[in-house]
Amino acid sequence: MANGNKLAVFNFQTAIDKRLIQRPNKPKAKLEETVREVFAAIEQKGDKALFDYTLKFDKISSNILEISKKTIDESDRYLSQDLKDAIVQAASNIRKFHENQVEKLSPVETAKGVLCWRENRAIERVGIYVPGGSAPLFSTVLMLAIPAKTAGCKEIILCTPPNIAGVNPAILFAAKHTGVDRVFAVGGIQAIGAMACGTETIPKVSKIFGPGNQYVTKAKQIAQIEYNTAIDMPAGPSEVLIIADETCNPAFVAADLLSQAEHGDDSQVILLLDNELLAAKINSELSRQLEKLPRQKIAELALENARAIVMNNIDECIALSNEYAPEHLILACKNYGKVAEKVVNAGSVFLGNFSCESAGDYASGTNHTLPTNGYARAYSGVSLDSFIRKITFQEISEEGIASIGKTVEVMAAAESLDAHKNAMKIRAEFIANNKNKQS
């Protein structure tokens, strides 16, 4: 088994056990109870509950929720020029990718005189949750605020956990650069609760976006079910699955595995390959690179639940990957274009040896807010569509009544919905009477 700095290697050529691709389950005792308790307190006490839980959970004593415009405007003073330039370039790429998703109006005449089309309407107020803690994810601001702004959302609010100094300046700079309207220093369950319930300071939103730990995920689910607040997806701990063969670069593969493992001790790392000797080479690289990581202890904990699984061939690897439905899938194998055609379930796919997952996390342009925990079987990652509602329109002329009137009447009668039938019939009769008068 894994010893904290290597992947446990299992050989599926001799024994297939699908338990090897089960996600690690952390104890969930009192998880839902805790979330409900926080939500109830927010409903009753508003802002005061947020301060109380920030002290309890984050060990931060504060009486200020909203970050001032002055503080946000001055955030760039605390960042290097290299970091500011990087954020600006990444934002440009992300904006290009999401602007390309804007749909053109395309009316269609489904029958003579029956014109149908669909138009986009942005969700008016959205809430973005940005994890803080040991790794403040300012990149998440870019991934969520940019498509929200591109979609035309009227108000974008952001919640992120505070630290002793306030809010990380990189988060504030990214918020300023992407057009976030208001930033609040509150995190965890209480941030989700505030956006779902609304308080004296934080407005209730229509939809909540952003990743988080199991508590944030559960809070988002309860917000959706019981507080009429939509969510992007039930995204939990981050994960990567890599499919590799002899054409891969073992150092690259090891680096990609570690880039995911350093997210947190609950991150999931899986390697599928068709060569047991290759597994040994990658493990050797993994141990070497791990020693140099500042977040070594976190990565080691994640690697305790990681594994390398040797299959008979790449087709078997793809089949197992589709069953696992990874958040991130890296194809470090020959003919990866052909292999990619067989991918059914994945959040985002990275093709070839040079397409590292961290490129998608930051600057290639695709969105890094993706379904985890197998939800890629049914959910897509965040896109422009996540921030809009699609409303259908139809315009029916007299000619349209003639085209589809009888069909509507017959179907309505068959369902015993006479008022439905009459709504069409009365129009048809009106048109017929007018024609008779004119003739």
Q: Give the active site residues.
A: 327-328
Report the interhelical angle of 81-99 vs 169-178 (nearest 10°). 40
Residues 221, 215: Cα–Cα separation, whole Å:
10
Q: Kindly write down the DSSP assignment for every residue of 174-222, as one continuous string.
A: HHHHHT--EEEE--HHHHHHHHHH--SSSPP-SEEE----HHHHHHHHH
Beta-sheet strand order (sheet of 108-111):
108-111, 114-122, 388-396
Long-range contacts of 342-349 (CB under 8 A, 24+ apart): 342/315, 342/318, 343/318, 345/321, 345/376, 345/377, 346/321, 346/322, 346/376, 347/371, 347/372, 347/376, 347/380, 347/381, 348/381
Helix (H) or strand (E) holding 273: strand 268-273
User: Shortest CA distance to 75 belongs to which of 65, 64, 87?
Assistant: 87
Distance of CA 431 to the CA centre of its chain: 51
Tell me if 302 sits within 8 A of 259, measured CB to CB. Answer: no
Distance from C-alpha of 326 to C-alpha of 138, rounded to nearest angstrom:
23
